[in-house]
Copies of this chain bind each other. A is one copy, B any other.
Amino acid sequence: MLSKISIDTIRTLVMDSVERAKSGHPGTAMALAPAMYAYWQFTMYYNPADPFWPGRDRFILSGGHASILLYATVFLAGVKDVENGQVVDRPALTLEDLKNFRRFESRTPGHPEYGLTAGVEITTGPLGQGCSSAVGMALAGRWLATHYGRPGFDLFGYHVTSFCGDGDIMEGVSAEAASLAGHLKLGNLTWVYDSNRISIEGSTDVTFTENVAMRFESYGWQVLEVEDGNDVPAICEALKQGREETSRPTLIILRTVIGYGAPGKAGTASAHGEPLGREELLGARKAYGWPDDAPDFMVPDGVQEHFEELAGQRGRRAQAEWDRQFAAYCAQYPEEGDELRHIFAGTLPEGWERDLPVYPADEKGLASRQSSGEVLNAVASQFPWLVGGAADLAPSTKTLIRGARSVQAPSNMVQEGGGYDGRNMHFGVREHAMAAICNGLALSGLRPFCAGFLIFSDYMKPAIRLAALMHLPVIYVFTHDSIGVGEDGPTHQPIEQLAQFRAMPGLTMLRPADANEVVESWRVAMQHRAGPVALALTRQNLPTLDRTRYAPADEVARGGYVLADCEGEPEILLMASGSEVSLVVGAYERLMAEGVRARVVSMPSFDLFDGQDRAYRDAVLPPSVRRRVGVEMASGFGWDRYVGLDGVVMAMNSFGESGAAAELMAKFGFTVQAVYEQARQLLHPAAD
């Protein structure tokens, strides 16, 4: 009975919160209340008193629009709050917070936000992302369990469970992630698919009639079906079977009725995205057996205690046992214990910079993808939990960790050797899932990187944005960063990609100019723990600048710096990033030889430069100097910030073409000569 009352308490809190907010998504939350109850009360190992417990099961509400379901449960389960990264002795959410659902500056925003509300493991909302990132969390569990597992210890046997809806299942990103999860045989992963046959445009019959069960079987998943979304014992049994099947992921197809209980709206699209209205709400309460005079936000006696008795006690006991084990582990394996503490805290291992190379001046130089590969390997050798890979492009992106094994299910014997504790991920041609999975890895304490051609970052965009929103330290290694790609042509030559990343809040984009800027870019990336970092690297060779002649590369950390200068105030500023820096250096040398006072500014990162104080920025780009040239083999969009109304941006105004890189550069005006001429013209404009 307390079971039914608890479920209906979730439902009424859902309805009341949405009604009060005058917006929100009640239907799915009402439908999933029994599954939520079953999972939290009878299945999940989660200690409400410590939402950071590393051994906890992970719960992901992939359909983030049903956020109120999670908030109501976090409230009822008494999850403790977090302040400045520490658990504090007060509830994460109170009834008052539910009353403030979707309000300005509340703890209960429209979609769950990681870092804002304790108990929320990941920001969700854009469909398909949560369940795909859950694959990363499950993989991280397997990685940690294998890499740090020792006889007699079971520290990372946690299970990852994601609730998904029709939208999540229709999205391509989840299809990619599910295929990879099946390949990796992630038996610690369960997706609960809320199949309610209703979407915003009406019945799913208008567009979604595939056989989902068969599809997931084709991926190698266990597929279970629960015919009645209100049948708690059946849901518990399916969740249990999901945990017991350790050699493949599990999909539980749960048939539910959207807006269950609402007399007129249950089972209809109108229960999805708007308040039910007072009449439907009262009708639903009646259907649940709620008293006629029940106040809004009623929490019947005993419900919170019931959550404490089941979910709370089980979680508490489990964490106590885990704490005991972890202490014994640290005593027996102090080095591994130290590493795990770094992983839990998100800090870097001692000496991670030890092997970073320094590159001597070299006219021929090397491609920045090449130097990046060397730097990555130098870091990886000192950083055991740096793990990543490419979307089937590792030989081109130079992102293989040498001598390391492949990340694979142990039963999958591959040529280079594999196991769950490998270092090299083979994501397949699944860029979007790659990025979503990296979010899950980062949320689990691993330090992930992933790689592809810069143009294919387009496929990853929604997941990268979530990394930025969640401040996750994922590193993106994007190579083939311009028309310098050459023969592969315009489908493979990025134009607008640098601009779109620079315009994205929270992401740091770096485009190093030579091998030593690559070293410093990686240094920035590794130390930057407050958000994702993207590196834009060349396919083609870049000269390694003579740093005895020009400024040292460590100023990369400031985003932009004076690379080469003149005596006194410059007459002209020449700016560029990445491969174009050597062009402006060439033009600078010619101008200086002719007696022009010129300055070269290397601008590897707009984001970092804009974060410097005004004095520094003005010192690098003196406001009084208005003759400015910005050069980049990409869309010039955004360069005007530094070039102003009186300068010139030399950039791409069209898509690229197929041909030898040098021919393309000549055609589109990226030569020393062209920069030089542009500068001369600014210095001595022809009379109009």
Binding site for B on A (CB under 8 A): 21, 23-24, 64-65, 102-106, 109-111, 113, 123-128, 166-168, 170-176, 179-180, 182-183, 199-215, 217-220, 273, 390, 392-396, 406, 408, 412, 414-415, 418, 426-430, 432-433, 455-456, 458-459, 461-462, 465-466, 468-469, 486-492, 495-496, 499-500, 502-506, 623, 626, 635, 637-638, 640-641, 644-645, 652-655, 657-660, 663-664, 667
Contacts and interface: CB of A to CB of B under 8 A. Distances in A.
Contact of A126 (B64, B415, B491): B491
Contacts of A641: 637, 640
Contact of A171 (B102, B172, B212, B496): B172
A491 B466 contact: yes
Please indicate which of the listed interface residues A202, A427, A495, A503 has the most CB atoms of chain B within 10 Å of its own CB.
A503
A495 B499 contact: no
Given A103-B658, A214-B214, A506-B654, 4 more contacts: A106-B659, A113-B489, A201-B392, A207-B426
Contact of A492 (B110, B408, B638, B645): B110
B414 A203 contact: yes
A389 to B, nearest CB: 8
Contact of A202 (B415, B503, B638): B415
12 contacts: A104-B659, A109-B487, A182-B209, A182-B210, A183-B209, A200-B393, A200-B396, A214-B217, A469-B490, A499-B500, A505-B653, A637-B638
A664 B106 CA distance: 13
Contacts of A635: 503-505
Oligomer copy total: 2
Nearest to A427: B207
Nearest to A461: B458
A176 B175 contact: yes
B202 A502 contact: no
A654 B469 CA distance: 9
Contacts of A21: 487
Given A104-B660, A110-B488, A111-B491, A623 B645 contact: yes
A661 B104 CA distance: 9
B487 A660 contact: no
A112 to B, nearest CB: 9
A64 B491 contact: yes
A206 B406 contact: yes
A501 to B, nearest CB: 8
Nearest to A485: B110
A115 to B, nearest CB: 12
A255 to B, nearest CB: 18
A207 B23 contact: no
A562 B459 CA distance: 38
Contacts of A394: 200-201
A469 to B, nearest CB: 6
A176 B172 contact: yes
Given A103-B660, A392-B167, A172 B432 contact: yes
Contacts of A427: 207
Contacts of A390: 201
A110 to B, nearest CB: 4
Contact of A220 (B64, B204, B209, B502): B209
A131 to B, nearest CB: 13
A125 B489 contact: yes
